Amino acid sequence: MSSSATLAPVSPLSDRIQAMNESATIAMAKKSRELLAKGFDVINLSFGEPDFQTPQYIKDAAKQALDDGYTFYTPVPGIPELRQAICDKFKRDNDLDFLPNQIVVSTGAKQSLANAVLSLVNPGEEVIVFSPYWVSYEEMVKLAEGIAVPLSGTLENDYKVTAAQLEAAITERTKLLMFSSPCNPTGSVFSRAELGAIAEVLARHPHVYALADEIYEYINFVGEHVSLAQFPAVTDRVITVNGFSKGYAMTGWRLGYLAARPDIAAACEKMQSQVTSGTCSITQRAGLAALQGGRASADEMVAAYRRRRDLVLDIVRDIPGFKTPTPSGAFYIFPEVSAYFGRTAPDGSTITNSMDLAMYLLNDALVSAVSGDAFGAPDCIRFSTAAADDKLVEAFRRVKESLAKL
Ligand code: PMP
Ligand code: GLU
């Protein structure tokens, strides 16, 4: 026998990838696609994706870009016209002054977040993540060999973490704070006063940076969007991430960006130069047209998202055991569902946690949702409300019926 045959099989995969979880949103969406392909009438409320088409004027700009020959590599941080248009957008919408060398355009806000985390976090440094948080934050921190420190908001405060909680959580090893507002998964929106208080805490701790994920900026039902970077005491330490996926219904185009102090932006550009280069040339021309068109198309979609939120809340408020705060933005509801833990399903199995409940709803109601574990909130479950009204009504009718069997 050769010596290699006697060795125990060793996985070729790195510790890094073995420690990483698959994105729970993507995993659930994959499961529902598989069931759909087998002929089951699954309503997929697991994936957070606008169901609207990209506005026509943006598609037209992409066609024009192809005809005009925009088929070459672009500068890594984006074409100059787009970086300038992003600066103009920050001025117009957020009263923030950036120069083009502070903007890095990427293949989606997801890459912008990863660029920032990998550029800032050293092994062993702590990253405070406001919880519930978007699924990828914790995994990105792990990838950077940092330590994610989830800090949970309470249901009574719409899951918003307070400045006092933040103050108590900061240590000398804290490097970064990560959060989204409007928040995925809760839909909570930080007010000016709340963010101002957070900025005051950060101002007292100059070693802490903040990654503000504003991808749902336009999908806001309360009106005022506030950026952490607007508070002068911390402007230099805030990395603001945004993109086109949600506001312009451009998920498949892969276009996002960050704005940061020039040295941090340059680091993110260096990271991207070694991993992916500049994002698609045609997509960037489309993004330029999107921004030049302002936010009128987003406002139309937001009216639909608000109507659907109200429609869904009306139904779920009648579901016993669901505790559902009213989302102020984004397109999710995030009920607390622990009243169902310990109950028995018709097949005799016990629902012990939100993962069991999500799987039960997928199999019994044919509605896919995402368990709260992946968002740092194991007592909750996330449903997307970015689906047609009749689909939503049918989905929650089925959910209610299935839950009544427990
Ligand atoms: N941040 C949050 C909070 C999100 O919900 C998403 C959507 N997946 C992203 C970032 C990434 O968006 P993009 O499609 O621009 O990569
Ligand atoms: N933002 C979406 C979600 O949270 C897309 C999925 C993803 O990119 O992980 O479901």
**What is the rounded distance in angstroms from the CA atom of residue 314 to the CA atom of residue 326?**
11
Q: Tell me if the bond preceding 232 is cis, omega within 30° of 0.
A: no
From the list 252, 330, 260, 329, the residue with the least C-alpha distance to 287 is 252
Ligand 1 center to 213 CA (angstroms): 8
| Most informative mutation of 28, 33, 45, 49 for ligand 2 (most atoms within 8 A of CB) | 49
**Do 242 and 90 touch, CB atoms closer than 8 A?**
no
Ligand 2 center to 48 CA (angstroms): 5
3-state secondary structure the chain: CCHHHHCCCCCCCCHHHHHCCCCHHHHHHHHHHHHHHCCCCCEECCCCCCCCCCCHHHHHHHHHHHHCCCCCCCCCCCCHHHHHHHHHHHHHHHCCCCCHHHEEEECCHHHHHHHHHHHHCCCCCEEEEEECCCCHHHHHHHHCCCEEEEEECCHHHCCCCCHHHHHHHCCCCEEEEEEECCCCCCCCCCCHHHHHHHHHHHHCCCCCEEEEECCCCCCECCCCCCCHHHCCCCHHHEEEEEECCCCCCCHHHCCEEEECCHHHHHHHHHHHHHHCCCCCHHHHHHHHHHHHCCCHHHHHHHHHHHHHHHHHHHHHCCCCCCECCCCCECCEECCECHHHCCCECCCCCECCCHHHHHHHHHHHHCEECEEHHHHCCCCEEEEECCCCHHHHHHHHHHHHHHHHCC
**What is the rounded distance in angstroms from the CA atom of residue 406 to the CA atom of residue 112?**
43
User: For residue 47, what pLDDT is reported?
Assistant: 87
Atom of ligand 2 nearest to the CA of 108: 8
> Is the Cβ atom of 243 under 6 angstroms away from ligand 1?
yes
> Is the Cβ atom of 182 under 6 angstroms away from ligand 1?
no
**Do 220 and 363 touch, CB atoms closer than 8 A?**
no
For 118-174, the pLDDT digits (tens) are: 999 999 999 999 999 999 999 999 999 999 999 999 999 999 999 999 999 999 999
Q: How far apart are the first and last CA of the chain?
A: 57
**Domains with residue ranges and CATH for the chain:** 7-53+297-403 (3.90.1150.10), 57-294 (3.40.640.10)
Determine how many CB atoms are found less than 10 A away from the CB of residue 51.
15
**What is the rounded distance in angstroms from the CA atom of residue 381 to the CA atom of residue 399?**
12
User: For residue 322, what pLDDT is reported?
Assistant: 95
User: For residue 1, what pLDDT is reported?
Assistant: 46
The identity of residue 5, as a single letter, is A
Q: Whose CA is nearest to atom 5 of ligand 2?
A: 48
Atom of ligand 2 nearest to the CA of 48: 10
Ligand 1 center to 216 CA (angstroms): 8
User: For residue 5, what pLDDT is reported?
Assistant: 57
Atom of ligand 2 nearest to the CA of 246: 1
Residues having CB within 6 Å of any atom of ligand 2: 23, 25-26, 47-49, 110, 135, 184
User: For residue 21, what pLDDT is reported?
Assistant: 87
> Is the Cβ atom of 187 under 6 angstroms away from ligand 1?
no
Ligand 1 center to 250 CA (angstroms): 11
Q: Tell me if the bond preceding 378 is cis, omega within 30° of 0.
A: no
Instruction: Name every residue whose Cβ is closer than 8 Å to that of residue 266 and which is 6 or more positions away in sequence.
Output: 101
> Is the Cβ atom of 215 under 6 angstroms away from ligand 1?
yes
| Most informative mutation of 184, 186, 215, 251 for ligand 1 (most atoms within 8 A of CB) | 215
User: For residue 27, what pLDDT is reported?
Assistant: 85
| Most informative mutation of 21, 25, 49 for ligand 2 (most atoms within 8 A of CB) | 25
Ligand 1 center to 15 CA (angstroms): 26
Instruction: Name every residue whose Cβ is closer than 8 Å to that of residue 22 and which is 6 or more positions away in sequence.
Output: none
User: For residue 26, what pLDDT is reported?
Assistant: 86
> Is the Cβ atom of 132 under 6 angstroms away from ligand 1?
no
With a cut of 70, list the residues of the chain below it in pLDDT: 1-6
Ligand 2 center to 26 CA (angstroms): 7
**What is the rounded distance in angstroms from the CA atom of residue 338 to the CA atom of residue 342?**
9
Atom of ligand 1 nearest to the CA of 330: 5
User: For residue 10, what pLDDT is reported?
Assistant: 85
